[in-house]
Structure 1
Amino acid sequence: MSTENSIIETAKQTIEMESKAILNLSSLVTEDFAAAVNLIYNSKGRVIITGIGKSAIIGNKIVATLNSTGTPAIFMHAADAIHGDLGLILNDDVVICLSKSGNTPEIKVIIPLIKRANNKMIAITGNTNSFLAQHADYVLNAYVEKEACPNNLAPTTSTTAQLVIGDALAVCLLNLRGFSSTDFAKYHPGGALGKKLYLRVEDISSTNEKPAVNGDASIKEVIVEITAKMLGVTAVVDNNEIIGIITDGDLRRMLTKVDDFSNLTAKDIMGANPKRIQANAMAIEALEIMEANDISQLLVEHEGKYAGVVHLHDLIKEGII
């Protein structure tokens, strides 16, 4: 077998092994899982997640997921806990401890200290007979038959299992809280993801020029308006109500059909009943309309009146695409 084929085969085996292990986790979900979710949901405090080594890295990811979906969480490294960081844990906090073996020295040291403070503790471990499992209030079984590592040593499948259980916790809590896309936007105001969730059409169109001509405008007036406003389009309006649209493309098509346009008006070449969008609609909706109709500009309305233009380039600039 060539080196390239060997690499591909190893990659496939790793993915298949981990996917089978993850699928098996569903059979390990017990009443403890539901009780753990309800404990966190009804808690007045935060979730404190602790672990060491690769479990600590997974713990940080679970903390990030919980925070972004409405459950306040903090990571506390198990090694740092015994050197002062135990002070992070407040009376109403729920502690989640991650450990594949459940018997690492650092975990054994901090568990009695956590229990002494009467904080409830949830274990995510692959060993339900471990010191951690025996002292936890609830045990979430993260057992995997073996690591994807050929030596069965490097944490691979086991850390993936921990991560999936963390995701399952977060999603269950999200559902209980009725956490919506609007709520999600509050926690993700930055970047393309946030903009897709909160940016509205009027946020973009209000910064653009507002090209407009009346229906009796001459073709020269139309060309001057489109050129001046630099959006490649103008609305045709009557009492500031949209009656049509003229684009650069409409002008080019007109020139292929007539030699003399001195007597033509905007009404003669406009596209009637153009696609439009409400000013308070989400910007992502504007993109969907543009893509569905293969257009680059969209007229904007507010309370039945012409309110401006949103251009595909605006959406690209804002990172919506």
Structure 2
Amino acid sequence: MNTTQSILENAKQSILSQSESISKLTHYLNEDFVKTVQLIYESKGRLVVTGIGKSAIIAQKIVATLNSTGTPSIFLHAAEAIHGDLGMIQSGDLVLCISKSGNSPEIKVLAPIIKSFGTTLIGMTANPTSFLATSSDLVLLAHVDAECCPLGLAPTNSTTAQLVLGDAIAVCLMQLRNFQAEDFAKYHPGGALGKKLLLRVKDMLDNTHTPQVAPNASIKKVIMEISEKRLGVTAVVDNNEVIGIITDGDIRRMLTDRETFSDLTAQDIMTKNPKSINSTVLVSEALDVLEDYKITQLMVIDNGTYKGVLHLHDILKEGIV
């Protein structure tokens, strides 16, 4: 077997081994898992997630997922916990302790202290007879038959199992909370989804660039306005009412069709009744309008008052698409 084939074969075996370990987790789901989810859901405090080594890294990811889906959580490193950080645990908090063996020295010190606080301890371990398992109020079994590491030493299948169990808890909590995309957006206002669900047209308008000309404006004035405001368009406004729109495409077509334009004004080449939108509309909805009509600009009009231009390029810059 050549090097390429060997690498691909090893990769496939690793993926298959981990997928098989994950699928077997369904056999270990029991009443303790249900009680864990219910306790977290009903808790008035936070979920403190702790661990050591690779399990600590998994704990941090679980905390990030829970926080982003509406469950207040904090990470507590097991080694730091027994050197002063136990003060992070407050009355009403729950503690989820993650350890493959359940017998590491830090866990043996930490578990009894947490219990002495009167705090509910949830243990996630691969070993149901471990110190952690026997010390916990509830046990989540993240058992794997073996690691996919060729030496059987590096945490691979076991940490994947921990991660998947953490995700399962998060998903169950989301369903109990009836957590919607809008809720997710509140915790991710800077992300693409957050912008899609929260950003409104008024948030994107540049009030210093509201191109407009009068109906009797010369073509030269129209071209200068489009060039100066750099939106590729200008509104034609009469008595504060938008009566038309002129795009740079209209200008090019006019120059193609005519030898001279000295006798023309804005109203001669404008498109009447341009597509418009209210400034309070979500940008994602405005994008739908742009796509439906295959246009790149929308006039923004509130109660008959011209507010500006929303351009497709501005939406693309925000990463909403």
1:54 aligns with 2:54: yes
Aligned to 2:150: 150
Aligned to 1:93: 93
Q: CA deviation at 1:214?
A: 4.0
* Cα distance change of structure 1 residues 286 and 27 upon mapping to structure 2, 3 Å threshold: farther
1:303 aligns with 2:303: yes
Q: CA deviation at 1:154?
A: 0.8
TM-score normalized with structure 1 length: 0.89
- The letter of the residue matching 1:73 is S
Structure 2 contact 207–308 (Cα < 8 Å) conserved? no
Q: Deviations over 1:146-167 (max 9, x none)?
A: 2221222111121112112112
Alpha-carbon distance in 2 for matches of 1:29, 1:207: 57
Q: Which moved more, 1:115-124 or 1:17-26?
A: 17-26
1:24 aligns with 2:32: no
Q: CA deviation at 1:183?
A: 3.5
TM-score normalized with structure 2 length: 0.89
1:246 aligns with 2:246: yes
Q: Which moved more, 1:271-280 or 1:97-106?
A: 271-280
Alpha-carbon distance in 1 for matches of 2:269, 2:26: 63
1:204-243 alignment runs, 5 A limit:
204-243=204-243
Q: Deviations over 1:185-243 (max 9, x none)?
A: 44334455544443321121134511123444443332232123221101234443444
3-state SS, counterpart of residue 57 of structure 1: helix
Alpha-carbon distance in 1 for matches of 2:38, 2:276: 46
* Cα distance change of structure 1 residues 21 and 276 upon mapping to structure 2, 3 Å threshold: farther
Q: Deviations over 1:124-147 (max 9, x none)?
A: 222223222222222222222222
Alpha-carbon distance in 1 for matches of 2:67, 2:284: 25
Q: CA deviation at 1:39?
A: 0.4
Alpha-carbon distance in 2 for matches of 1:20, 1:242: 64
Structure 2 contact 243–273 (Cα < 8 Å) conserved? yes
- The letter of the residue matching 2:245 is I
Q: Which moved more, 1:238-247 or 1:40-49?
A: 238-247
Alpha-carbon distance in 1 for matches of 2:278, 2:22: 45
- The letter of the residue matching 2:89 is I
- The letter of the residue matching 1:206 is D
Alpha-carbon distance in 2 for matches of 1:190, 1:3: 44
Q: Deviations over 1:224-273 (max 9, x none)?
A: 32123221101234443444322111111122122233343434433344
1:1-321 alignment runs, 5 A limit:
1-190=1-190, 192=192, 194-291=194-291, 293-320=293-320
- The letter of the residue matching 1:139 is V
Provide the alpha-carbon RMSD of the alignment: 2.5
Q: How many residues align?
A: 321
Aligned-pair identity in percent equals 61
- The letter of the residue matching 2:20 is K
* Cα distance change of structure 1 residues 33 and 273 upon mapping to structure 2, 3 Å threshold: farther
Q: CA deviation at 1:93?
A: 0.8
- The letter of the residue matching 1:277 is I
